[in-house]
Amino acid sequence: MRLSEMKEGQSATIVHVGGNGILRRRILEMGILKGTQIHIEKYAPLRDPLELIVKGYHVSLRVKEAAEIEVDNVR
C-alpha cells in the first residue's frame, strides 16, 4: 500500500522509500526510513499536504511525495 492511500488516524511500517535524487534524500534525512513506524495525523482541508508523526516529530509531505513510499502492517 502507498502512504498516500492511508487514512487519518492509521499507522503503518515503512517497507520501501522510492523516488530519486534530491527528493529521496530529503525524505530519508527526515527520518522516513525502512522499518520506521509512522502515523497519519491529518490531511490538510484539500488533502494536500498530509501531516505524519515519525519518531515523535510532526512532518508534512505532499501527497505526490507520499505516493513514493510503500507501507505495510496498516492498522
Domain spans in the chain, listed from the N-terminal domain onward: 3-72
Are residues 75 and 18 in contact, defined by beta-carbon separation less than 8 angstroms? no
Superfamily of domain 3-72: Ferrous iron transport protein A (FeoA) (2.30.30.90)
State the pLDDT at residue 68: 94
pLDDT at 16: 96
Residue from 25, 20, 27 nearest 54 by CA:
27
What pLDDT sits at residue 50?
A: 95
Give me the pLDDT at residue 20, please. 87
**Residue 7 and residue 66 in contact, taking contact as beta carbons nearer than 8 Å:** no
DSSP H stretches of helix in the chain: 21-29, 63-66
Mean pLDDT of 30-59: 94
